[in-house]
Structure 1
Amino acid sequence: MNQWVVVTGCSSGIGYASLAPLKQAGYRVIATCRKPQDVERIKSEGYTCLLLDLDSQESISHCAEAIATLTEGELYALFNNAAYGQPGALEDLPVAALKAQFNTNLFGWHDLTQRLLPLMHNCGQARIVQNSSVLGFAAMKYRGAYNASKFALEGYTDTLRLELSDTNVRVSLIEPGPIETRFRANALAAFLCWITPDNSRHAQQYEKQIQRLEKEQSGSTFALPASACIPPLLHALKSERPKARYRVTTPTKVFAVFKRLLPTSILDKVLSKAA
C-alpha cells in the first residue's frame, strides 16, 4: 500500500491514537500538530509530522504545500480531527469567542480541505473523514459555541458528500460521544479565556462546569478511550462503501434514536439532565 493519509490534531486524543493503527494498516501517515514541540515529539516517534495552525491561513497554506510535495500530488485521505470545545452560556460569550471556535472547528477545516481536494482528485479513489460529535445533532447547555460549530460541520459534510458523489472522493462523519482525551483540559482553558463566572447569572452552574472540566477523567459510565474511534476510521478508509455516519459510544447511538422519535419538549428535558 502506498496511500498517504493526513491526520490533523495529533498531539493527543483521537488524532494521536490513530497514528499507530494507520501505520500498521499500511498507510503512509502525515500527522499535523499546532505546537512546534508536539511536532518534534511526533517526529521523534517515527512519524512524518507538519506544523498546522487552523486559525492561520498562512499556516494552512504552508502545510498544504508541504503535503503536496510529500505526496507528489496524490493524496488518498484526509482525517479532519483537530478541534476544541468552547464552554459557556451563549449570552456570556462574545462574538470573538464564537469566531475563534468556528475558525478552528470549521473554517480552518474548509480551507485545508479545499486546498487538498485537487490532490485527492488525482488519486484513483480518495476519502475525507470528518470527526464530528454527538453534539453535532443533539445540543446541550453551556456548549453552545461547540454545538453550533459541530451542527455546521454536519451540514457542511452532508453537502460535501453530495457534491462529490460523482467523483472518486467518498466522505464520512464520525460522531463520538464521551471519549477520554485532553478535551476537558483544553475546554477549561478556553472557558477561562472568555468567561468571567462571577459576573454571570450562570455563576452557580459555572462552578459545576469548572469542577467537571478540572477532572482528569470524565467519570462517565459510557466514556470510551480514544481507540474506540479507530475501527470506524479504518472502515471509512478501507470499505468500498463507507458509511455516511459512524456513531461511537452508547450516548451517541441513544440520542440519535431520541432525536428521531421524541417530541422536542421531551427531548429538551432529557438533554437538560444529560448536560
Structure 2
Amino acid sequence: MAQRSILITGCSSGIGADAARALHARGWRVFATCRRETDCARLREEGLESFPLDLADEDSIDTAIDELRSRTGGGLDALYNNGAFALPGAVEDLPRGALREIFEVNLFGTHDLTRRVIPIMRAQGRGRIVTCSSVLGLVPLKWRGAYVATKFALEGLTDVLRLEMRGTDIDVILIEPGPITSNIRVNSIPHFERWVDWQASPRADQYRGSLLKRLYESRGPDRFELPPAAVTAKLVRALESPRPRARYYVTTPTHLMGLARRILPTAALDWLVDKG
C-alpha cells in the first residue's frame, strides 16, 4: 500500500504539532507547515518534513504548493486546515483592520490553500479535506467576537464545499474542538495589545474584572480541557475511516453546545452561553 500524504497548517505547537507527530508515527508522509522558518527547522530536527506556509501571505501559499508538488510529484491525499489565531476583545472595540487581519488567516488563507489543493485531488481522483473549526463555530461567546466570526464563516464555507463535492471522491470534514491545551491564549496577547484600546473603552472596568485576568493570568487548565491528542484521535478517524462523518465533536462542551443549539430557543441559548 502506497504511503499516504497530508499537508497540515499551524504545526508550530498545540493541535497541529500533535497531529503531525502522531500521523508521522502512523506511517503517513506528513508535510508539517509553520508560519516561521525557525519552527519548521525545529520540526525537521525531529524527523518531520516541514517548510514555511503563512496563511496571510498569498505568495507564501504559492511557494508552499510548489514545494509540495516538487516533493510528491503532484499528489496529496489529505489537507488538514488547522492554522488560526485568536483576537480577544469586545465587538464594539474591534477596528476594521483587526477583523481584516484575523480573517486573512482564519478564513481567506484557509480558503485559498484549500482551492489550490482541490485540483491536485481532482487529478488523482480522491482526497480528504479536514478543517479544524471550534465549538465557537457553533455558538458565540463574549469577548471572542473576532474569532467567533471567522469560525462561523469557516463552518458555512466548509458546509457548502461539502455539498458541492458530493459526487466526487473528495470528502470534506469538520472537526469542532472545545477547550484544548494550547498556546492560543498567550499567542493572542500581541494581537489584543495591537488592536484593542481597552483603556479608552466604555467597558474598561469589565476588561479589568474579566478579560484581562483571563488573558494575562495563568490559571491552569479550563474546566473540561483536553490535550491536543483528543483532537488528533478524531482527525485519525476522519482520515482513515472508509466513510467519514461530516463533523466530529471534541470535548464535552462541544457536545453540549451542539445539542443546545439544536433544541433551545435563542433566548435560552443566550442565557446558557452567558453563564459559561
Same fold (TM over 0.5): yes
Which one-letter code corresponds to 2:266 in the other structure?
A: T
In percent, how many aligned pairs have the same letter? 46
| Cα distance in 1 for residues equivalent to 2:170 and 2:220 | 36
Task: Report how far residue 218 of structure 1 moved.
Answer: 4.7
Which one-letter code corresponds to 2:138 in the other structure?
A: F
Match runs of 1:208-247 below 5 Å = 208-216=210-218, 218-247=220-249
Task: Report how far residue 97 of structure 1 moved.
Answer: 0.4
SS in 2 for 1:49: coil
SS in 2 for 1:14: helix
Deviation string for 1:156-210 (max 9, x for gaps)? 1001111111111101000000011001001222111111111001212222212
| Cα distance in 2 for residues equivalent to 1:49 and 1:216 | 31
| Cα distance in 2 for residues equivalent to 1:68 and 1:267 | 46
| 1:273 alignment partner in structure 2 | 275
Task: Report how far residue 216 of structure 1 moved.
Answer: 4.1
Task: Report how far residue 151 of structure 1 moved.
Answer: 0.3
Contact 2:93 2:198 in 1 (8 A): no
Match runs of 1:55-204 below 5 Å = 55-204=56-205
Task: Report how far residue 114 of structure 1 moved.
Answer: 0.9
Which one-letter code corresponds to 2:3 in the other structure?
A: N
Task: Report how far residue 215 of structure 1 moved.
Answer: 3.7
Which one-letter code corresponds to 2:182 in the other structure?
A: T
| Cα distance in 1 for residues equivalent to 2:224 and 2:263 | 22
Task: Report how far residue 148 of structure 1 moved.
Answer: 0.6
User: Structure 1: where are the runs of 5+ without partners?
Assistant: none
| Cα distance in 1 for residues equivalent to 2:122 and 2:4 | 13
Moved more, 51-60 or 198-207: 198-207
1:249 counterpart = 2:246: no
Contact 1:188 1:210 in 2 (8 A): no
SS in 2 for 1:224: coil
Contact 1:212 1:218 in 2 (8 A): no
| 2:27 alignment partner in structure 1 | 26
- State the TM-score, normalized to the length of structure 1: 0.97
| Cα distance in 2 for residues equivalent to 1:149 and 1:205 | 24
SS in 1 for 2:128: strand
Contact 1:132 1:173 in 2 (8 A): yes
| 1:45 alignment partner in structure 2 | 46
Which one-letter code corresponds to 1:233 in the other structure?
A: L
| Cα distance in 2 for residues equivalent to 1:243 and 1:185 | 32
Which one-letter code corresponds to 2:99 in the other structure?
A: L
Contact 2:55 2:61 in 1 (8 A): yes
SS in 1 for 2:12: coil
SS in 2 for 1:159: helix
User: Structure 2: where are the runs of 5+ without partners?
Assistant: none
Which one-letter code corresponds to 1:263 in the other structure?
A: P
| 1:5 alignment partner in structure 2 | 6
| Cα distance in 1 for residues equivalent to 2:45 and 2:120 | 27
Contact 1:33 1:50 in 2 (8 A): yes
Contact 1:180 1:218 in 2 (8 A): no
Contact 2:15 2:231 in 1 (8 A): yes
Which one-letter code corresponds to 1:271 in the other structure?
A: V
Moved more, 199-208 or 172-181: 199-208
